[in-house]
Structure 1
Amino acid sequence: MSSLSVVIPVGPAEKTLGDLPLNLLRAFNDTPGLGLLVQRWEIILVFCEASRHLEKQLPPESGLTVRYAEAGRAKQMNAGAAVATGCFIWFLHLDSKIKPLHCLRLSERVIQRSDTLHYFPLAFQNDGAGLMVLNQWGANVRSDLLRVPFGDQAFCLSARLFRLLGGYPEDVAYGEDHLLVWYARQTGIPLCSTGVALPTSARKYASHGWLKLTLRYQYLWLRQAWPEFLCLLRRRFL
């Protein structure tokens, strides 16, 4: 992989940058062998007006790229991708817990299969509520069997393919990551799991209620998936 751009949107609800930016810096700078796989990399943080104050948490002269965009995950990720200089773009959520192994495995997978949308198996951290083990199992079944991963599984694809797909749709109320996956499948772009689970926060389930949020998410993704599935069938058989 000649170059990699990491795009991280910082939404209006975020209260801290956490440890993701620094963990990425350490991984790229200090992981043995990673420099042989990724010759050039950049980390792009995209703030909105409501999260702009969090920029002060970045260490001075960190080497991170900072951009600003209108609030909204799709708009912020598209804004980051628009200035990305890497041949490949890795979209990360701020609450993802990245370790050097994630960077190494992703680099290996991208070199092996460059014309693919790559994603990570999901693992929830212990900050949720209810039967999160079921949510984790269901998310990975949905990803591996139904071929529908979500954005918290850290998509990575070439900048060329991302432009071909038109970026994340900005005119939807939710599920821009979900729709990008369907657009990829409808275009014939394969999906590939890295095989290394990526921990992400489950705090929303603690604050909104496990059962209520689980049922809501299932309803929303199935409602959005059905017309995209029909479109996929039409493209394949017609």
Structure 2
Amino acid sequence: MPLSPKPDLSIIVPLLNEQTELPDLFQTLADQKDILFELLLCDGGSTDTTRQIAVELGGENSFTTQLLDTPPGRGRQMNAGAAVARADMLLFLHADSRFEAPDTLSIALQYLTSRQSVSTHPVAARFRLHFRRRTTHPSLAFYFYEAKACLSSEDCIRGDQGYMLSRSCFEDIGRFDDSLPFLEDLRLAKTIARQGSWLLLPVRITTSARRFETEGLLRRQIVNAVIVNAVAVGWNEFFRELPGLYRCHTETGKLLLFPLLDGIRILLASFTPDQRRTFWQATGRHVAANSWQIFFWLDARHAFHSSLPPESVRLQWTNRFNRYCAPFVCSSPVAWVASAAVRLWHRAMLLLCRRLEPVTKTS
């Protein structure tokens, strides 16, 4: 049987129990015009009807679909998809991603290709982001995250924006780091930013707010911050001792913070005094370096109340921070103050969560 024509784009989607998302994913892709693409579904061990639905929908659509059995872990799954992709351009997409217009992919591909042709270094692109929520009531919190996704900082780029880049760029920078079960998107974003550059595409992608709405927005952001800090300070024991931290979305309900915070307490208690001191100092430096987000929140709030789109936030407070505060935030005194504040916060949250949440034995 002859192969279909070489596609313009290979779309790679990691799957794990995504039976509810697949029909809409196939529909949003079927609606795309003026582009030839293939869809590579990389299943990491689904236990629901994901595989059956993928096969059925793949046979009903005009674009080529391939279902791959891969090791679990999104990094491994997406690396496996990239290994068999036929196009010169790759798009790493989440199963809950949707496109708002039928020409989104064609515009994105043309935009990236045109800028690649005049660049002497690796270039990758991501979409502007919008959260699909159960309610249409405006939310400053979600607006803040949508606006932050438009910033050029490597720390603001996440996989739910979709990563579009050439195969050569992907191979040259070393593919996804699959040494951890998650955060592969953040690590790739940092690598690309340091070796090349990121483009913000002029078109938008939407992603489900299901995890935030189910688990609680504040609770999920606290967990995310703890995870990112553990990576930033090189605390690999954290991930080995708490393997159930980042559960599949189908297994989650309202997040309980006490098991996580108490687990951190227990792990730190096993450290020597010097190890604890080093950990808290590194945490203080990380928190201080991210204090710019407080000022960006002020800018986002002003833009939100002015009904501006997230990409149009004026960085007045943020620029003031960069001019007057940024040179000092990584100094030892500031890092020490931030470290002390985080330790106090950790103790206070432990006490609060112990009283408000059912106690689960951590170890």
CA distance in 1, matches of 2:152, 2:192: 16
Tell me, in whole angstroms, the C-alpha distance in 2 between the residues paired with 1:105 and 1:226. 39
The C-alpha deviation readout for 1:44-92, integer Å capped at 9, x for no partner, is 1112332434334415253312211012211111111000011110011
Partner of 2:189: 181
Provide TM-score, normalisation by structure 2: 0.54
Which amino acid in 2 is paired with 1:64? T
**Is 1:42 the equivalent of 2:41?**
no
Deviation, 1:221, is 3.0
Tell me the residue number matched to 1:134.
Answer: 141
Q: Which moved more, 1:10-19 or 1:99-108?
A: 10-19
Specify the alignment match of 1:95 in structure 2.
96
Q: Deviations over 1:166-216 (max 9, x none)?
A: 2111111421000001111222x1100003221100011121112101222
- Per-residue Cα deviation, 1:116-175 (whole angstroms, up to 9, x for no partner): 110011110013899854234235325414243100000100000101122111111421
**Structure with larger Rg:** 2
Aligned residue for 2:78, secondary structure, equals helix
What are structure 2's unaligned runs of at least 5 residues? 1-6, 117-121, 235-285, 287-363
* 1:104-115 superposed matches below 5 A: 104-114=106-116, 115=122
Distance 1:43 1:116 in 2: 22
Residues 12 and 71 in structure 1, CA contact (< 8 A), matched pair in contact too: no
Deviation for aligned residue 1:14: 4.8
Distance 1:225 1:139, change over 3 A: farther
Q: More displaced, 82-91 or 93-102?
A: 93-102
Pair 1:60-2:59 in alignment: yes
Residues 58 and 65 of structure 2 are in contact (CA less than 8 Å); yes or no, is this contact kept in structure 1? no
Is 2:16–2:45's contact at 8 Å kept on the other side of the alignment?
Answer: no
Q: Which moved more, 1:208-217 or 1:151-160?
A: 208-217
Distance 1:210 1:180 in 2: 25
More helix by share: 2
**1:21/1:225 CA distance change after superposition, 3 Å:** farther
For structure 1, which runs of at least 5 residues remain unmatched after alignment? 231-238
Q: Deviation string for 1:20-62 (max 9, x for gaps)?
A: 12321331xxx2xx24xxxx42111112332434334415253
TM-score, scaled to structure 1: 0.80
Aligned twin of 1:82: 83
Distance 1:111 1:223 in 2: 36
CA distance 1:225–1:151, change in 2 (3 Å): farther
Give, as a single letter, the amino acid of the residue that structure 2 aligns with 1:208: E
Q: Which residue of 2 aligns with 1:151?
A: 159
In the alignment of these two chains, the number of paired residues is 218
Q: Which residue of 1 aligns with 2:130?
A: 123
Distance 2:177 2:124 in 1: 17
Q: State the secondary structure of the residue aligned to 1:100.
A: coil
Contact 1:120 1:194 in 2 (8 A): yes
Corresponding residue for 1:236? none
1:162 aligns with 2:170: yes
The AA in structure 2 aligned to 1:3 is D
Does residue 1:7 correspond to 2:12, yes or no?
yes
AA partner of residue 101 (structure 1): D
Does the C-alpha gap of structure 1 residues 198 and 16 become closer, same or farther in structure 2, counting only changes over 3 Å?
Answer: closer
Distance 1:68 1:181 in 2: 26
Larger RCO (CA under 8 A, 6+ residues apart):
1
| Distance (Å, rounded) in 2 between the aligned partners of 1:214 and 1:129 | 21
CA shift in 2, pair 1:153/1:128, >3 Å: farther
